[in-house]
Amino acid sequence: AQSVSQHNHHVILSEAASLELGCNYSYGGTVNLFWYVQYPGQHLQLLLKYFSGDPLVKGIKGFEAEFIKSKFSFNLRKPSVQWSDTAEYFCAAKKNTGFQKLVFGTGTRLLVSP
Amino acid sequence: EAGVTQSPTHLIKTRGQQATLRCSPISGHTSVYWYQQALGLGLQFLLWYDEGEERNRGNFPPRFSGRQFPNYSSELNVNALELEDSALYLCASSLYLAGVEQFFGPGTRLTVL
């Protein structure tokens, strides 16, 4: 079955620390990849997405992610986190054919201490 | 531009009852998706409607059903409620194109007592 794994369930960082959240997917073939973020009390919103082309994707708020096909990975990174990055982060994947559902990982809760 | 809206915000039911949740997509979006977000389980895909048709269904029992209306709004019905149905139910919408992003609503918090 198609699945998405996020390795870290909870991450605690100090402001200015670097962030890397792991994400692996189990799909073969062409896949679309996403990172969504849910800030406290807010809607789930898109951080960045990968469809094709440059495997290094830039998103909003200084986030980026790298698609490594050989490792089935799409890790999220930010060089220097801020207190306002405290949120839950979800990786998601979808096969790029027909009516394929979007499958989410279980999420990573990030707490950034000031 | 108005985002995805959901109603009600909160819903409290007792075991065995039926719940109806509603979703209005972003104007111009034809696809509506429903997800269940239970504590510790992330988002579990429930249903996908596009142009009034059910396009895909997640691994949920038949008592989870829904429909999409001609104006593309959608309704999720949960029959014979069980305690474990307590969760946040999220609706999302998108244009129907392979790979496009989904825009999420605020959710309906369903509590089953």
Residue B96 reports pLDDT greater than 80: no
**Which tokens sit at B108?**
């309906």
Please answer yes or no on whether B105 and A34 come within 8 Å at the CB atom: no
**Per residue in A72-88, is it b (16+ CB within 10 Å) or e — as a string?**
bbbbbebeebeeebbbb
> What is the model's pLDDT at position B42?
84
Nearest to A44 by CA among B47, B46, B112, B88: B88
Handedness of CA A45, B107, B21, B58 (dihedral sign): positive
Bridging pattern class, strands B108-112 and B10-13: parallel
pLDDT tens readout for residues B43-73: 999 999 998 999 999 999 999 999 999 999 9
Asked if B9 and B21 touch (Cβ cutoff 8 Å), the reply is no
> What is the model's pLDDT at position B40?
75
**Beta-carbon count within 10 A of A53 CB:** 8
Please answer yes or no on whether B98 and A106 come within 8 Å at the CB atom: no
A vs B: CB pairs below 8 A: 52
pLDDT level of residue B41 (50, 70, 90 thresholds): confident
> What is the model's pLDDT at position B91?
97
Average pLDDT estimate for A17-35: 92
pLDDT tens readout for residues A39-68: 998 989 999 999 889 999 999 999 999 999
Please answer yes or no on whether A101 and B58 come within 8 Å at the CB atom: yes
In percent, the amount of chain A with pLDDT more than 90 equals 79
Nearest-neighbour CA in chain B from A50: distance (Å) = 9
Nearest-neighbour CA in chain A from B50: distance (Å) = 10
pLDDT level of residue A27 (50, 70, 90 thresholds): confident
Nearest-neighbour CA in chain A from B108: distance (Å) = 12
**Which tokens sit at A36?**
């969504």
